[in-house]
Structure 1
């Protein structure tokens, strides 16, 4: 995108879905929801910052309705995360229940974040070209999911385990 100054056939959805997922996992890792999850908070804060960088580049390289659509989706995501935070913190439930509720939302968001890049498979099959799905990126995604799955066993966290293990399984189909 940056070299050609155009988004061509690239979609903003993988970037937005991963940004949404990172923001929700950041909330999950806060001490008021799930204490002692500093690695989850740190990694997802860095991930959200990186995704914001990608989204910014997408905005710079897109034009017209593509840019407006991407901005609208970003604003809707921010509103959704704010609503989740307000609702979950305003209902009076235990910390464990709060972690379960946010954990389930995070699992769904992470699965969406992992499904978004897999949507490229349609383009790969249709064009019979892997230009839009580089192998090294798939391998990095696979090992990322594997490392987080292993982390979830250290201080057993079912929410992290389910969200990452589902990605490993879906990624195996890409190889």
Structure 2
């Protein structure tokens, strides 16, 4: 139940964030983000429909667990392009420290929760989150004093 409540709150906050972005973003960015939003909603709808209409019992739980694990890993992997930019430019300009710290702490909290509850579907993605969050913090420690070298 706790996982459902937290993820429900996350959906509400993220929806508000995306809506505000769509209101104020330039047209080109709106089009790109709207396309991604349609893709995500379609994937979520397909996941829900398969879970409800096709699968039953333990198969439903395994399918939903695998789907959420994949989506969570994708979420934690999204800063990889920013991490590459930090290495290329030797600047943390586009990687805020507190966001990196929050990713690490959140993933660590959920990893501990998953270990205590022996829930593989929580342990796997949050292990990735801990590693990627730690990598962001290490990059920040290395490059926080450098200026952008792109000229």
Superposition TM-score tier, normalisation by shorter sequence: 0.7 to 0.9
Match of 1:111 among 45, 61, 73: 73
Match of 1:100 among 27, 42, 62: 62
Structure 1: stretches of 5+ with no match in the other structure: 1-37
Note closer, same or farther for the CA distance 1:104–1:92 as it changes in structure 2 (3 Å cut). Answer: closer
**Deviation at residue 125 of structure 1 after TM alignment:** 2.3
Larger helix fraction of residues:
2
Task: Determine helix, strand or coil for the equivalent of 1:173.
Answer: helix
Q: Mapping of 1:17-56 within 5 angstroms? A: 38-56=1-19
CA offsets, 1:141-161, max 9 Å, x none? 111111111111232211011
Contact 2:72 2:125 in 1 (8 A): yes
Task: Determine helix, strand or coil for the equivalent of 1:65.
Answer: helix
**Deviation at residue 118 of structure 1 after TM alignment:** 2.6
Structure 2: stretches of 5+ with no match in the other structure: 139-151
Task: Determine helix, strand or coil for the equivalent of 2:86.
Answer: helix
Match of 1:165 among 127, 135, 138: 127
CA offsets, 1:65-109, max 9 Å, x none? 221121121122112111111112111432x22111111111111
Q: Which residue of 2 aligns with 1:136?
A: 98
Distance in 2 between the 1:137 and 1:158 partners? 26
User: Which of these two proteins has the greater Rg computed from alpha carbons?
Assistant: 2
TM-score normalised by structure 2 residue count: 0.83
The structure 1 segments of at least 4 consecutive aligned residues displaced by more than 3 Å after TM superposition are none
Is 1:146 the equivalent of 2:108?
A: yes
Q: Which residue of 2 aligns with 1:71?
A: 34
TM-score normalised by structure 1 residue count: 0.72
CA RMSD in angstroms comes to 1.5
